[in-house]
């Protein structure tokens, strides 16, 4: 249950911090429904798109993010062969990068 709340809040926060880039990260309902319909493939696509969006918006805040959606997707898919820890590393990358973007957004808007 907490995992779904986390996805909801991450999408919400990224949509605020990356507003104006012409993209929108879909929310929890789309994530759950489309992931169930596609047997989990949409979740990988969602992670991929989120990783790319974070990497593309890093320059707006003077940040340098090395990992993009492809890195996240490769950890999700091929990282499962390494004792199943790949998805955890992929989520760590997304959390780390979204925290960097959100902290930079807060500094830029005087919220820190």
Q: Convert the pLDDT of each residue in 68-104 to its tens digit.
A: 999 999 999 998 888 889 999 999 999 999 999 999 9
- What pLDDT does residue 111 have? 84
A 10 A CB-CB count for 106 gives 12
| Cα dihedral value 47, 55, 92, 44, nearest 10 | 10
Tokens of residue 94, six digits:
């997304």
- What pLDDT does residue 79 have? 87
How sure is the predictor about 53, in pLDDT bands with cuts at 50, 70 and 90? Answer: very high
At 15 the three-state DSSP class reads helix
Q: Which residues contact 95 (CB under 8 A, 6 or more apart)?
A: 10
Closest-CA residue to 14 (of 1, 29, 32, 26): 26
Q: What is the mean pLDDT of the chain?
A: 93
DSSP code for 20: T
pLDDT of residue 63 exceeding 80, the answer is yes
């Amino acid at each position: 249950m907490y995992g779904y709340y986390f996805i909801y809040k991450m999408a919400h926060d990224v949509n605020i911090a990356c507003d104006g880039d012409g993209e929108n990260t879909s929310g929890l309902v789309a994530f759950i429904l489309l992931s169930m319909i596609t047997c989990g493939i949409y979740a990988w696509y969602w992670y991929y798109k989120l990783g790319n969006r974070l990497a593309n918006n890093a320059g707006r805040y003077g940040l340098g993010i090395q990992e993009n959606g492809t890195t996240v997707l490769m950890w999700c898919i091929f990282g499962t062969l390494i004792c199943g820890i790949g998805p955890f590393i992929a989520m760590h990358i997304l959390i780390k990068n979204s925290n960097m973007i959100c902290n930079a957004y807060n500094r830029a808007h005087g919220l820190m």
